[in-house]
Structure 1
Amino acid sequence: MAGGVPRPDPAVGAAGRARSGVGVIGAYALLAMSTQLLWLTFAAITPESARDLGVSQGAVGDLAVVNALMFVVLAIPAGRWLDRDYRATLAAGALFTALGAVVRALDPTSFAVVMAGQVIMSVGQPLVLTATTKIAARHVGPEHQTTAIGIASGAQFLGILVAVLTGAPLYDAGGLRAVLIANAAFSVVAAVAVLLSLRVPPLAEPPADTDRSMAWLRRDPVMWRMAALLFVGFGSYNALATWLDSLMTDFGHPGAAGNLIAVMTLAGVVGAAVLPGFVGERDARRTHCLVATAALAAVALVLIVAHGVVIGGVLLAGLGFLLLGTLPVVLEWAEVHVGPARAGRATAFLLLAGNVGAVVVVLTVQVAIDHPQLALGVLAAWSLPGLAFALLLPRSTPTSAPAAV
């Protein structure tokens, strides 16, 4: 069909459409993984990258910072574009992501070239990630949408894990060139898969929203409370990932943080995949948010007095399972709350709040980082506003979204 959205073929049975939906979600998960892989490419090889590119380690850090800055600028516009034209927006996100990865690999000795590629792929990231709930609403039946959202969200954390675990081995095998080429190859495959998946007819076409503005958001206190919750949750995870090495070194366990972060993130991948369906079926979303936020306080306080590697691994695995699982739970909740026509803008707003929290919470913990017990106390204190906002969320979720206002 030339132009427009492909229409479902009546000859294709429900089972065939369901299998197509699984393929669409799988392709999207690969692309979501690649956005995080490209964001944190240099996290595990910062000194080596600085040497090869002829810049300071701080400049290498700027390669990751540019992603956060672009997300803050583009998140809301990306959500609006997605609600207006899903296919064109996601296609643009796939193309920007792959193009940026390829540009970085053109000259692994030039910081300017690598930075240019990083900026290009940073444009694609919000265009891709704001589709997390929209793609589930289009291609998966209602009974499986929470699981699809969990898989798509968990893919982001899996991308973080892959970036951290593969950076050093790839560098050892072939230097920075090998790292950037491998990342580019993965991103191109993921982008092609998504572009092909856009030819799959949707299982259901979400209704159009005649109000393209964000005025409804100002009158929706539930969305603001969800955003505040993700501000705390995202921020706390990033604070732990950023400062755990300093904390464990001060506690007498240098070099242990990398494995602990990997354990926490891997547990988060599992949590993101299984928790949304579990809590959604039981309408226990608010309960989950309360438990996850309370777990943040409990883990931080226990680590103050018991900070061995084994107990740290157990605690952080449990926290990662609950805390990272909160992202898809809240995203799915928001989609149910606002309806699929506004899902792109809702997801963009929530992810924006989480990214801002990732900066603010990290900086507040940094103030006390020279005193590890105090730093953990600051982290525990962040759970208090988190619990307050979780308590203000609805006890149950209506089966249908509110009417547009």
Structure 2
Amino acid sequence: MPRRSRWLVLAAFALLVSATQILWLTFAPIARQSRDALGVSEGAIGDLAVINPLMFVLLAIPAGRWLDRRFGTALAAGALLTAIGAVIRTVDTSSYQTVFVGQVVMSVGQPFVLNASTKVAARYFPPLERTAAISVASAAQFGGILVAALTGGALMGAGGLGLVLGLQAGFAVAAAAAVLVAVRVPASYALGATGETSLRWLRRDPLMWRLAGLLFIGVGVFNAVATWLDTILVDLGHPGVAGTLIAVMTVFGVGGAAVLPGLAARHDRRRALLVATTLISVVAFLAIAVALALLSGVLFVGVLLALVGFVLLAGLPMALDWSELESGPDRAGTATGFLLLAGNLGGVVVVLIVQAALGNPYLAMSAMSAVVVPGLLLAARLPRHARSHIDDDRRWPDERVKPASVPW
């Protein structure tokens, strides 16, 4: 029986998810000001943002498996590390070494938070509401990115780096405290076993690998746009507009992440929506390249990026929702960790691929389109309809997934 407090639990968790993203991207919109405040190079400031995905790659699977075994303890550890890391950064806001240590501590906690998205949904929400819960958690992730991008410059101008780090630490501590209270709420739904020690089920599940491939591409493309759009537009004589366009893309992405996965799940059209997402992205990035070549303004580019954001960012909660159906709630932490690991790797690789094409801005946008093409092939090979891990339990008692030789 679902508890009425489930939405409060989700709200607390969503705040913590947002906090992790705000702390990760603290220095992205204020790189030059932070360089001067800390007395280091811009490259050193960039290293502060690299720590986060690096720690996620190292800890994603171990964090997911710990969440499957000891959910409350693992999520509480993630909350505490997030808050402690944020507070450490405020101890000496003129010391790069202090800020670096705080960033490392916070980054260690993030995998335990983000990997818990599907576990929170499975523990507290009935099956018909789990897609919505996962969508809210994913939208909170993008919302945190947006808050970091939109508030950093204003706060830096108002009170310097001390104000930026202080307010962010306060938010992180409040969110962590809310989650520490929330994890004490008993689960409404039993999750069965606490997770296998073997990862054989993951290695043998083709659906999980295809979803991972889609997130590798989707997260990678989003990161590439966020990283290189300003460079591309400056080369074309449009300085100072990339931030607004990225914000528009993210705002529409938050809306898509909150709405589209629920519609796809309700009508069992997950594959159709993922195919449409990849197809729209391929066409849109090519159209952006053409628009930049033929049109003097960027309004049309903004419209296309809003469309891409709306469908592209919905892919994350949709993939996580499908993975929970596939793996079962007791393995959801490991499954989520695997998928988010793939997304973080894509966020590095695709950025480097597009960087190689930056000499020609039209080629750079075309490269983003080309990167998405394999995603269209992966999406087309997904099952037409989602199946439940429960069905697999009935047919293969010893294995939760179909043997690789069984066709979809």
TM-score, normalization by structure 2: 0.94
Q: Hey, what's the Cα distance between the residues in 1 that align with 2:159 and 2:366?
A: 42
**Cα deviations by residue, 1:159-205 (Å, 9 ceiling, x for unpaired):** 00000101011111110000000000000000000000011111112
Q: Hey, what's the Cα distance between the residues in 2 that align with 1:306 and 1:208?
A: 54
Aligned pair count reads 390
Q: Hey, what's the Cα distance between the residues in 2 that align with 1:105 and 1:198?
A: 27
Q: Hey, what's the Cα distance between the residues in 2 that align with 1:385 and 1:375?
A: 17
**Aligned-partner residue type, residue 365 of structure 1:** V
Of residues 131, 137, 158 in structure 2, which corresponds to 1:173?
158
Give the aligned partner of residue 139 of structure 1.
124
Give the aligned partner of residue 318 of structure 2.
329
Tell me if structure 1 keeps the 8 A contact 2:195–2:330.
Answer: no
RMSD of the TM alignment (CA)? 1.0
Q: Hey, what's the Cα distance between the residues in 2 that align with 1:26 and 1:145?
A: 14
Give the aligned partner of residue 257 of structure 2.
272
Give the aligned partner of residue 329 of structure 2.
340
Give the aligned partner of residue 242 of structure 1.
227
Q: Is 2:134 the partner of 1:149?
A: yes
Of residues 256, 262, 265 in structure 1, which corresponds to 2:247?
262
Q: Hey, what's the Cα distance between the residues in 2 that align with 1:293 and 1:18?
A: 37
What aligned pairs does 1:114-133 form with structure 2 within 5 A after superposition?
Answer: 114-133=99-118
Q: Hey, what's the Cα distance between the residues in 2 that align with 1:351 and 1:249?
A: 32
What aligned pairs does 1:367-386 form with structure 2 within 5 A after superposition?
Answer: 367-386=356-375
Q: Secondary structure at the match of 1:213?
A: coil
Give the aligned partner of residue 233 of structure 1.
218
Tell me if structure 1 keeps the 8 A contact 2:65–2:195.
Answer: no
Q: Hey, what's the Cα distance between the residues in 1 that align with 2:376 and 2:137?
A: 26
What aligned pairs does 1:2-41 form with structure 2 within 5 A after superposition?
Answer: 17-41=2-26
Tell me if structure 1 keeps the 8 A contact 2:68–2:195.
Answer: no
Q: Hey, what's the Cα distance between the residues in 2 that align with 1:257 and 1:210?
A: 44
Q: Hey, what's the Cα distance between the residues in 1 that align with 2:29 and 2:63?
A: 30
Q: Secondary structure at the match of 1:204?
A: coil
Q: Hey, what's the Cα distance between the residues in 1 that align with 2:6 and 2:368?
A: 40
Give the aligned partner of residue 316 of structure 1.
305
Tell me if structure 1 keeps the 8 A contact 2:235–2:361.
Answer: yes
**Unmatched 5+ residue regions in structure 2?**
400-408
Give the aligned partner of residue 402 of structure 2.
none
Give the aligned partner of residue 168 of structure 2.
183
Give the aligned partner of residue 89 of structure 2.
104
**Cα deviations by residue, 1:120-179 (Å, 9 ceiling, x for unpaired):** 000000010000101000111111110000000110000000001010111111100000
Q: Hey, what's the Cα distance between the residues in 1 that align with 2:243 and 2:386?
A: 39
**Unmatched 5+ residue regions in structure 1?**
1-13
- What's the offset of the Cα at 1:213? 1.9
Give the aligned partner of residue 272 of structure 2.
287
**Cα deviations by residue, 1:272-296 (Å, 9 ceiling, x for unpaired):** 1111111000111111111111111
Q: Hey, what's the Cα distance between the residues in 2 that align with 1:223 and 1:400?
A: 13
Q: Hey, what's the Cα distance between the residues in 2 that align with 1:213 and 1:343?
A: 14
Give the share of equivalent positions with the same residue, in percent.
55
Q: Hey, what's the Cα distance between the residues in 2 that align with 1:363 and 1:132?
A: 29
What aligned pairs does 1:300-315 form with structure 2 within 5 A after superposition?
Answer: 300-307=285-292, 308-315=297-304
Q: Hey, what's the Cα distance between the residues in 2 that align with 1:128 and 1:383?
A: 28
Tell me if structure 1 keeps the 8 A contact 2:202–2:208.
Answer: yes
**Cα deviations by residue, 1:26-45 (Å, 9 ceiling, x for unpaired):** 00000000000000000111
Name the stretch that deviates more: 286-295 or 116-125. Answer: 286-295
**Aligned-partner residue type, residue 199 of structure 1:** R
Give the aligned partner of residue 338 of structure 2.
349
**Aligned-partner residue type, residue 366 of structure 1:** Q
TM-score, normalization by structure 1: 0.95
Q: Hey, what's the Cα distance between the residues in 2 that align with 1:164 and 1:192?
A: 25
Give the aligned partner of residue 8 of structure 1.
none
**Cα deviations by residue, 1:337-374 (Å, 9 ceiling, x for unpaired):** 11111100000000000000000000000001110111
**Cα deviations by residue, 1:64-92 (Å, 9 ceiling, x for unpaired):** 00111100000000001000100000000
Give the aligned partner of residue 349 of structure 2.
360
Q: Is 2:391 the partner of 1:391?
A: no
